Structure 1
Amino acid sequence: MAKISKTKESSKVDKESKSESLYEQRLPYVTPFSTPLADKKLNKKLLKLIKKSSKAKDCKRGIKEVIKAVKHNSKGLVILAGDVFPYDVISHLPVFLEDHNIPYVFIPSKSDLGNACNTKRATSTLFIVPGSNKKGKSDEYKEDYEEVMKLVKKL
């Protein structure tokens, strides 16, 4: 039994090192204007928050949906992918979001963003709008959302 527990512990360490190495591998592909960029710890928290909010159906995915939600005065957090090519696709969003006083943060990979949303396709932008769904499941991730918002505002 001792051998099994050692292998489980080593597999946990391997998974953590793989996720860190994936983060490091994706950094060279990030666009030059991707600031503020989430560090490893914040990136992990953001992906967990996205998974919880997508289960509650409080996410707006894609550039068109994000812009539409911002124009309708929705409040929340916007997560942008840093490896979008061509750059012109999302280059206007940071200024647009700052004009509407909506916090935003970049993460290195659009595929990670898509996977966290439980979709098969990569996603370039995501807007978490707590309470947008009428079923009221936003209480499940409210603490995580507030913690992430504090970290994003520090950036």
Structure 2
Amino acid sequence: MEDVDANMEFGEEGSTYISPIANPQLSGRMLKRAMKLLKKALSVEKLAKQHQMEKGNNDIVMTRLVKRGVQDVTKAIRKGMDGIVFIACDVHPIDVVSHLPVMCEEANMAYAYVDSKRVISNVCQSKRPTCVVLIVKPPHDLDKRLQTLVQDKHDRLSYLELYDKLNSAIRDLHPFL
């Protein structure tokens, strides 16, 4: 009987398991914006690391815009970093990530659930599934720092605008913040 319940929970049609605490879950346009923001943060991080290798400039803030994994995200929240947290809906057992929403609410941090671990790991270009990702809030002087890395002004502004839009949209959508 337990096998039947497990199959019903995970779905027989190839659908993924959705955690009962997965609220709010991003979908459609919001999900695309979230993944676009994650891609941009990773690309800025990569550019900063390349610039650091070439010029010897040691800009730690720019090389640490994305935190991956439960342990790193938990540590970042506990240390007081601000940002947006994306949690995968299909994490099983749920106890692995069940403490994160409470920590985010206590820290007044925006968080949302994403379809699956595979979606996050594909955007992060990782072969291992990633349960949770934190996009650190951009520093107030990010535009000045990005001038040395990105020549196109549109790319610099779109990252900041995208972060602000997504942060406010998640806060509007969220029932607990």
TM-score > 0.5, shorter chain as reference: yes
1:76 aligns with 2:64: no
Preserved contact between residue 114 and residue 121 of structure 1 (Cα < 8 Å): yes
Partners of 1:142 and 1:116 in 2: how far apart?
Answer: 19
Report what 1:35 is aligned to: 23
Whichever of the two has the greater Rg, that structure is 2
Question: Where does the alignment leave 5 or more consecutive residues of structure 2 unmatched?
Answer: 1-13, 46-64, 147-154
Report what 1:149 is aligned to: 167
Preserved contact between residue 114 and residue 122 of structure 1 (Cα < 8 Å): yes
TM-score (norm. length: structure 1): 0.76
Partners of 2:120 and 2:170 in 1: how far apart?
Answer: 17
Preserved contact between residue 113 and residue 122 of structure 1 (Cα < 8 Å): yes
Secondary structure (helix, strand or coil) at the match of 1:49 reads helix
Preserved contact between residue 47 and residue 116 of structure 1 (Cα < 8 Å): yes
Between the two proteins, the alignment pairs up a number of residues equal to: 129
Superposed, 1:105-120 pairs within 5 Å as 105-120=112-127
Secondary structure (helix, strand or coil) at the match of 1:56 reads helix
**Structure with more relative contact order (C-alpha pairs < 8 Å, separation 6 or more):** 1
Question: Where does the alignment leave 5 or more consecutive residues of structure 1 unmatched?
Answer: 1-24
Report what 1:55 is aligned to: 43
Partners of 1:116 and 1:96 in 2: how far apart?
Answer: 25
- How high is the sequence identity, in percent, across the aligned residues? 34
Partners of 1:48 and 1:104 in 2: how far apart?
Answer: 16
Runs of 4+ more than 6 Å apart = none
TM-score (norm. length: structure 2): 0.67
Q: What are the superposed Cα offsets for residues 86-139 of structure 1, whole Å, 9 maximum, x if unpaired?
A: 11101111111111111100011111011111212111000001347x994494
Preserved contact between residue 59 and residue 129 of structure 1 (Cα < 8 Å): yes
Aligned match of 2:32 in 44, 47, 69?
44
Q: CA RMSD in A?
A: 2.1
Partners of 1:131 and 1:40 in 2: how far apart?
Answer: 25
Preserved contact between residue 54 and residue 118 of structure 1 (Cα < 8 Å): no
After TM superposition, give the deviation of residue 39 of structure 1 in Å.
2.1
The change in CA–CA distance for 1:69 and 1:88 in structure 2 (over 3 A counts) is: same
Partners of 1:38 and 1:106 in 2: how far apart?
Answer: 6
Report what 1:5 is aligned to: none
